[in-house]
């Protein structure tokens, strides 16, 4: 199977024979994929490596074989990427194997293409006319795809990846190829440039993907491919217009332009044209345009699309770049985390019983700061509600940083509504940031409400449901709010709030805070009913 695929990918010479070889390889891969998709891709990766080793003395032949191999498998590659996004969005365990399969395929092709891009200027003679721009473009596209796939899992990009992409772009720029329009995958996917593929990775990184869902990251990646024609990499410094700087000789991502950073390897990014396009998307979504009409996936809600474009337009701006509002202090403590309104209600009804003997024990925990010893109150172990144990690493006036301590049945996702019991109090928070390190999840949680208590909410028709009353906080402002399940649909009529034997007539605000696992409804009290 492997030898036959290698021979068909290497087959060529005359135009008709090349087409027959490609068609034969495509048919073979389709046949393998129908029987065993994983084995088909594993065989393709093996074939690429074997060709790279066998044909070292013939770069033209290797180049044709590599291009054929990618063209042959491209349809399946797109299917794998789409499937990976769906599985990660749903937190399916099968995403793990698919993730490594996709990365293995990308890395194999990147290695093969890079072996052809020698440092000398005789690439056209060694590869054939017009082949070098295509290989540069495909290589940078695969590196950007690989970065995007790692971002889908909230994994940090390694310094070697930044060195790799910076070095390749510098080489293309030196050869004057960076803005040559090429159709690397034929007419169906349109023309693009080496510069655009280089920029895609930079802009994805600057979008703070750790604050986006997998579907939002993948959607943004596709949108950038269609809209990066409005941007370019500047060689001359113009600080009034530019927002970011990068060094082609370094191993670092782009950073904010804060001073006159100059040098032969420095390049600058003016993101204003791209921000204008993102803000235009915000405007259209606010006017009620649906996602399909805007060439966005139908799986994405207009609310999530609006949040994504609003955020990235700020991330690409020097003046509005989202920053941490205040310093966090290290306070190692083991805490309990509850996900979703039903589970939060459960722990409010039956909170952990305080230990009569003040019994506690010490345990050693690992954090980013190193190994610490923390005391654990035994009352935490008596909690009957569904919860998971996390390490509280740091705390600020508006948020906390948590590290996964034990096995979690379902990991929190971006925009998850949850409660955290720490410092002997229960607080309501929303997941704003995620990172994965060594198989452990780190989450940044914004505290949105405190002092949660169970109440009942009765509609004018007499239907009563349990709700959570809490004191909300936003930018230092405190307000009354109700936490209700995601499926709750408010009516315009007043409701009756029952709390500690008293009844209040209340109206729910239209300014609803939508989260995954429940929503926050600010409300106002119309009147207190007589006891």
Which CATH number fits the domain that encloses residue 341?
2.40.10
C-alpha 154/C-alpha 367 separation (Å) is 18
At 78, is the secondary structure helix, strand, or coil?
Answer: helix
- Which of 117, 151, 154 is CA-nearest to residue 136? 117
Q: Examine residue 302 and state whether it is found in any structural domain, yes or no.
A: no
- Looking at the whole model, is its pTM more than 0.95? no
Total domains in the fold of the chain: 3
C-alpha 358/C-alpha 355 separation (Å) is 5
Of the candidates 389, 421, 447, which is a domain's last residue?
447
Same-domain check for residues 467 and 380? no
Type and span of the H or E element at 335: strand 329-339
Backbone torsions φ then ψ of 389, nearest 5 degrees: -100, 130
Amino acid 18: pLDDT: 41
Same-domain check for residues 227 and 335? no
Amino acid 379: pLDDT: 63
DSSP bridge pairs for 508: 523
Same-domain check for residues 410 and 503? no
At 189, is the secondary structure helix, strand, or coil?
Answer: helix
Amino acid 22: pLDDT: 43
CB-CB contact of 363 with 296 (8 Å): no
C-alpha 144/C-alpha 134 separation (Å) is 15
Same-domain check for residues 16 and 141? yes
Q: 521 lies in which domain range?
A: 451-528
C-alpha 526/C-alpha 509 separation (Å) is 12
Amino acid 24: pLDDT: 53
Q: What's the token pair of residue 122?
A: 């005789």
Same-domain check for residues 455 and 402? no
CB-CB contact of 182 with 137 (8 Å): yes
Produce one character per residue of 103-112: b if its CB has 16 or more CB atoms within 10 Å, e if not. bebbebbbeb
Amino acid 29: pLDDT: 58
DSSP bridge pairs for 371: 366
At 424, is the secondary structure helix, strand, or coil?
Answer: coil
The ranges of the chain with pLDDT < 50 are 1, 12-23
DSSP bridge pairs for 389: 336
CB-CB contact of 207 with 314 (8 Å): no
C-alpha 421/C-alpha 338 separation (Å) is 8
Type and span of the H or E element at 221: helix 214-227
Same-domain check for residues 6 and 99? yes
Instruction: Tell me the residue ranges of DSSP E strands in 195-252.
Output: 233-234, 244-247
Per-residue pLDDT tens digits for 107-160: 999 999 999 987 566 787 788 888 999 999 999 999 999 999 999 999 999 999
């Amino acid at each position: 199977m492997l030898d036959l695929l290698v021979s068909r990918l290497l087959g060529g010479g005359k135009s008709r024979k090349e087409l027959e070889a490609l068609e034969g390889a495509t048919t073979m891969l389709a046949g393998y994929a129908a029987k065993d998709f994983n084995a088909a891709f594993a065989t393709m990766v093996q074939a690429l490596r074997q060709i790279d080793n066998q044909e070292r003395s013939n770069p033209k032949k290797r180049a044709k074989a590599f291009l054929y191999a990618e063209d042959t498998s491209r349809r399946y590659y797109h299917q794998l990427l789409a499937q990976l996004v769906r599985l990660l969005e749903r937190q399916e365990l099968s995403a793990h194997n698919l993730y490594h399969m996709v990365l293995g395929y990308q890395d194999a092709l990147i290695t093969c293409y890079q072996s052809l891009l020698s440092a000398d200027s005789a690439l056209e003679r060694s590869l054939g006319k017009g082949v070098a721009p295509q290989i540069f473009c495909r290589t940078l596209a695969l590196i950007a795809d690989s970065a995007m796939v790692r971002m889908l899992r909230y994994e940090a990009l390694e310094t070697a990846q930044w060195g790799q992409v910076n070095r390749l772009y510098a080489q293309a720029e030196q050869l004057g190829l960076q803005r040559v329009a090429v159709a690397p995958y034929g007419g169906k996917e349109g023309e693009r440039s080496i510069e655009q593929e280089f920029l895609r990775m930079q802009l994805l990184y600057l979008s703070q993907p750790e604050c986006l869902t997998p579907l939002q990251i993948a959607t943004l990646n596709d949108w950038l491919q269609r809209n990066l024609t409005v941007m370019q990499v500047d060689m001359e410094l113009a600080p009034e217009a530019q927002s970011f700087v990068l060094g082609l000789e370094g191993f670092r991502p782009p950073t904010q332009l804060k001073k006159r950073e100059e040098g032969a390897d420095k390049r600058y990014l003016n993101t204003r044209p791209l921000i204008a396009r993102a803000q235009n998307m915000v405007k259209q979504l606010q006017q009620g345009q649906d996602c399909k009409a805007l060439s966005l996936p139908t799986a994405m809600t207009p609310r999530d699309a609006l949040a994504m474009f609003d955020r990235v337009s700020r991330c690409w701006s020097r003046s509005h770049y989202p920053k941490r509002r205040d310093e966090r202090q290290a306070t190692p403590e083991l805490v309990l985390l509850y996900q979703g309104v039903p589970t939060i209600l459960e722990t409010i009804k039956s909170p952990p019983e305080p230990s009569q003997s003040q019994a506690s024990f010490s345990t050693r925990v690992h954090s980013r700061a190193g190994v610490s010893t923390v005391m654990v109150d035994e009352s935490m172990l008596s909690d009957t509600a569904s919860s998971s144990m996390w390490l509280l690493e740091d705390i600020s006036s508006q948020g906390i940083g948590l590290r996964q301590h034990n096995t979690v049945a379902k990991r929190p996702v971006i925009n998850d509504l949850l409660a955290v019991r720490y410092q002997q109090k229960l607080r309501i928070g929303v997941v704003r940031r995620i990172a994965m390190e060594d198989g452990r999840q780190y989450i940044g949680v914004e505290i949105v409400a405190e002092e949660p208590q169970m109440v009942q909410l009765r509609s004018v028709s007499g239907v009563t449901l349990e709700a959570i009353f809490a004191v909300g906080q936003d930018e230092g402002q405190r307000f009354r709010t109700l936490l209700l399940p995601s499926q709750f649909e408010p009516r315009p009529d007043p409701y009756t709030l029952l709390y500690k034997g008293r009844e209040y007539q209340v109206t729910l605000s239209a300014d609803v805070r939508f989260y995954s696992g429940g929503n926050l409804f600010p409300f106002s009290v119309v009147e207190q009913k007589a006891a």
